[in-house]
Amino acid sequence: MTGERIGIGLIGLGSINRAHIRGYQESRALARIAAVCDVREAVATERATALQCTRYREYLSLLQDPAVHAVDITLPHALHYKVAKAALEHGKHVLVEKPMAATSAECMELITLAQRSHLTFTVAENTRFVKAYMEAEKLVRDGTLGAPRLIRTFIYGSEYERLVVSDDWITRKSDAVGGVIIDCGAHSFYLLKWLYGDIATVQAFQSTFVPQSEVEDYASVHGVMQNGANFSVEFTATAEVPWGERCEIYGSKGSLIIDQVCNPVAIQYRGAKDFQGTPLPGVPFNLEDWKQQSIVDEVKDFVAAIAERRPPTIDPLHGYYSLKIVEAAYASIAAAGRMVKVL
């Protein structure tokens, strides 16, 4: 592959895939989309024609294509492990949408397989590339906010039109594995791990507002971090508002409030008497594209990691860890909301 652009194979061509395509198009000096795959023939044909690449309907056929050096997997959650494992076994670098797999054990198996095969492997966790969170990390690392006391997150938006359609994969537990806890929770638990480390205990609650769905469309999870701080995360897929994320960090020296639907997006408070607060520089208000841009950036990092033969910015072990917390949350729910220790 020396001197050759990285051939990318796209497996799964749902709506999120369009942001991934933008990332590869902006990395055209290093990579090119060589093939696409989707079980929907019309979709695969349309995308292959637009991208001027090879079309497949079976992912194993795509994996046998020598022009494909790396694959990008955006499939229903239940298929992530199976397809990612096959790709690694075929010697392909892999970027797989979150959640990395249905269980933490499957995540670790994929990570180990990639390491043993000397392949670049990571999870598409766009949280790491959201500008507001990148600026938040600077304040956390330099101690500006002081010791953490409470971290709260809220991911909100609407999938109502999909949830009321019983044949959409996100409504079926066999395809989606779970609802907002595994889907949105993967983001929040990654954020907590990245900024503040491990979680000690978890207690969770879930409910389903849309009766046609087999999975939860609302959930709240709270507990205690290993560093002693409390945390609380909340998710809903029935809020009629543009998709947004909120993160509140309350520390001993000050606090930070981030909300993607607000302008300014991020405001730092330097204590209980700071009534004005200070908007964080470098965090633009871009409600229509903030999430898409972070996905584009995660894709570009994946390509650069392969080309530069370096680890990707997103540590796949953090993706594994987020699944451990997801499992602990579901275990708490199964035990009628009992507090669960994270092992």
* Total of domains in the chain: 2
Long-range contacts of 106-109, Cβ-Cβ distance < 8 Å, separation of 24 or more:
106/81, 107/81, 107/316, 107/319, 107/320, 107/323, 108/320, 109/81, 109/85
Same domain, 74 and 135: no
Same domain, 68 and 200: no
Cβ atoms within 10 Å of 3's Cβ, excluding its own: 4
Q: Confirm whether 45 is domain-assigned.
A: yes
Q: Confirm whether 299 is domain-assigned.
A: no
Does pLDDT of 120 surpass 60? yes
Does pLDDT of 166 surpass 90? no
Domain containing 196: what range?
Answer: 128-292+323-341
Give the closest residue to 314 by CA, choosing from 124, 136, 88, 72. 124
Helices (H), the chain: 17-25, 41-51, 59-63, 80-89, 104-117, 131-141, 160-163, 173-176, 180-183, 185-196, 290-308, 316-334
Q: Confirm whether 42 is domain-assigned.
A: yes
Same domain, 168 and 272: yes
**What's the CATH code of the domain at 334?**
3.30.360.10
Can you give the pLDDT at residue 165?
A: 87
Same domain, 81 and 187: no
**Coil, strand or helix: which one is 185?**
helix
Domain boundary pick from 125, 156, 171 = 125
Same domain, 120 and 174: no
Q: Confirm whether 311 is domain-assigned.
A: no
pLDDT in tens, 197-250: 999 999 999 999 999 999 999 999 999 999 999 999 999 999 999 999 999 999
Q: Confirm whether 304 is domain-assigned.
A: no
pLDDT, averaged across the chain: 97
Give the Cα separation of 336 and 343 in Å (integer): 19
pLDDT in tens, 58-99: 999 999 999 999 999 999 999 999 999 999 999 999 999 999
Give me the residues paired with residue 54 across strands.
35
Same domain, 210 and 274: yes
Same domain, 187 and 287: yes
Can you give the pLDDT at residue 1?
A: 54
Q: How confident is the model at residue 126 (pLDDT cuts 50, 70, 90)?
A: very high
- CB distance 48 to 55 below 8 Å: yes
Residues 6+ apart with CB under 8 A from 179: 206, 208, 213, 215, 216, 217, 219, 237
pLDDT in tens, 297-343: 999 999 999 999 999 999 999 999 999 999 999 999 999 999 999 98
**What's the CATH code of the domain at 46?**
3.40.50.720
Same domain, 164 and 273: yes
Give the Cα separation of 38 and 44 in Å (integer): 5
Q: Confirm whether 187 is domain-assigned.
A: yes
Give the rounded percent of residues in the chain with a pLDDT score beyond 70. Answer: 99
Can you give the pLDDT at residue 167?
A: 83
Residue 270, Cβ density class (10 Å: 0-12 exposed, 13-18 middle, ≥19 buried): middle
Give the Cα separation of 197 and 281 in Å (integer): 26
Higher pLDDT, 15 or 177: 177
Q: Confirm whether 298 is domain-assigned.
A: no
Same domain, 118 and 176: no
Q: What is the mean pLDDT of residues 260-269?
A: 97
Give the Cα separation of 268 and 274 in Å (integer): 9
Structure tokens at 207: 């409910």
Looking from the CA of 187 toward its CB, the CA atoms found within 13 Å total: 23
Give the closest residue to 9 by CA, choosing from 56, 77, 79, 78. 56
Give the Cα separation of 52 and 37 in Å (integer): 13
Same domain, 87 and 24: yes
pTM: 0.96
Same domain, 158 and 270: yes
Order of all β-strands in the sheet with 93-97: 54-56, 31-37, 6-11, 70-73, 93-97, 121-124
Give the Cα separation of 15 and 6 in Å (integer): 23
Same domain, 72 and 162: no
